[in-house]
Chain A
């Protein structure tokens, strides 16, 4: 490629990024008198004005309760809400809109599966998770274990932070595993797991498979059918959407076998004091008035993401991650935690002689927001022999300059302590 073309492309990309950042009002805020450098998108992403405006406009101009009003405003709101179900189905290539259940977040989606699908399991059957699960994909299975006599098995993670496939194969060997529940991308290590291979192994052993896509769905296109998944969970607030909304996708035949999770309005077909019958899927799993405005906001977020496209998102984040790994490695005393081959823009690190909490507080004084702690993955921290790490994570709005500023500030923090 000739040099001018490369330069033109670089300029175009910088210009495009500048325009994109202008969509996120919060990025022009200052913290402690410094420009905000937001490197905590893995915890929760910032929101574009398209999402903010859609939600505010809904409440201003077109809001009523859904599925029950026999009047114009309720019908329009129901249409807007249900249109997002179609959008989500397309977003992850579900076979049908009935396979999408709106939840509060990934945590609730996993709890739904653990309670409902979990009630179909028999004592002695096992659920397999991994050492790198977020507490959200660990505690609900522990609770199922204690409630229903289910065995909980834990697949090992290698020193580089990848799922140990031999360990997984060993846990599946006796044929007693009913479900494998594994993250699709680690919120601590950035590791992207080989979901297709995991699904094939699980199915060969007669088990079903659930992927926690909370992190991955932000960075790469998810195709639940191509992955061979049975369950897939996603949260909206990491996807540049609002808090309070996420979704569970499950194969229709599985959802139809599953009993309801919560009872209440909207999930019934008929109710008497003697008995109630359930609404067809997915409504059977959506009891009570849902997060109407938030679901519509999630729809705006998906439209926004699709308008950028996963090709552009992937290219931007791959370049950022490569740059960050190279630049952070140059910081004296910095140790990267997790070096998986296939990874995304979530980078955990420690620094010799400086505690992660001191790193986070001093970065904050300079306007840089990172996470420090165990990242809701205490067992993984123990596996790595750490009590805490600092974590920088990137979004579509993150710039190379922000990463350089992070690295430069980290160098100064180290000097300050040593």
Chain B
């Protein structure tokens, strides 16, 4: 009885698209229906990141607390699903953070993309860990973080 079943399973596999670990439901949903897209009205900070290799672009606007913490942050992303979902999850994650906390998390995030191992504090960002098997796509996930770093540096320079 094993053989016909195996054949059935393999024929199913043949017809179903393989999506791998990367495109989990969370990624696809946040890319399609982002929760933090748009602009913050009366933003005190803004930043932009572009990837000249593919034309992807992330624009951020944020309001800041007097103590220098991100109060509210929104993104406008023109890019692939990985970039768009990364921007949305980043915006959710960094609310309340100051520049130092953002830098620390950004470092943890980038390390995770290299090793494929999520560390403590990555939370839902761990959904991007499988990117370590897709080296050419790592920049898609880090582009929003580049924009965030540009935004905070710009704020510091003022």
- 0/1 per residue, A45-63, Cβ < 8 Å to B? 0000000000000000000
Contact A362/B54 with A355-B79, A417-B28 known, Cβ cut-off 8 Å: no
A32 near B20: Cβ-Cβ < 8 Å: yes
Measured between beta carbons, the chain A residues less than 8 angstroms from B56 are: 387
B80 part of interface (Cβ distance < 8 Å): yes
Q: List 23 A-B contacts (CB under 8 A).
A: A355-B83, A356-B80, A357-B80, A357-B140, A358-B81, A358-B82, A361-B82, A362-B23, A365-B17, A365-B18, A365-B19, A365-B20, A372-B54, A373-B54, A374-B54, A374-B55, A387-B55, A388-B54, A412-B16, A413-B17, A416-B19, A416-B28, A417-B31
A341 part of interface (Cβ distance < 8 Å): no
B18 near A34: Cβ-Cβ < 8 Å: yes
Measured between beta carbons, the chain A residues less than 8 angstroms from B78 are: 387
Residues in chain B within 8 A of chain A (CB atoms): 16-20, 22-23, 28, 31-32, 53-56, 78-83, 134, 137, 140
* Docked pose: A366 CA to B18 CA in angstroms: 6
A373 near B28: Cβ-Cβ < 8 Å: no
* Docked pose: A387 CA to B137 CA in angstroms: 16
Measured between beta carbons, the chain A residues less than 8 angstroms from B28 are: 416-417
B32 near A355: Cβ-Cβ < 8 Å: no
* Docked pose: A34 CA to B15 CA in angstroms: 12
Measured between beta carbons, the chain B residues less than 8 angstroms from A361 are: 20, 22-23, 82, 134, 137
* Docked pose: A366 CA to B56 CA in angstroms: 25
Shortest A304–chain B CB gap in Å is 31
Shortest A35–chain B CB gap in Å is 11
Contact A387/B54 with A409-B17, A413-B17, A417-B28 known, Cβ cut-off 8 Å: yes
B55 near A416: Cβ-Cβ < 8 Å: no
* Docked pose: A361 CA to B20 CA in angstroms: 9
Shortest B57–chain A CB gap in Å is 9
Shortest B24–chain A CB gap in Å is 12
Measured between beta carbons, the chain A residues less than 8 angstroms from B23 are: 358, 361-362, 416
* Docked pose: A373 CA to B18 CA in angstroms: 22
* Docked pose: A416 CA to B134 CA in angstroms: 20
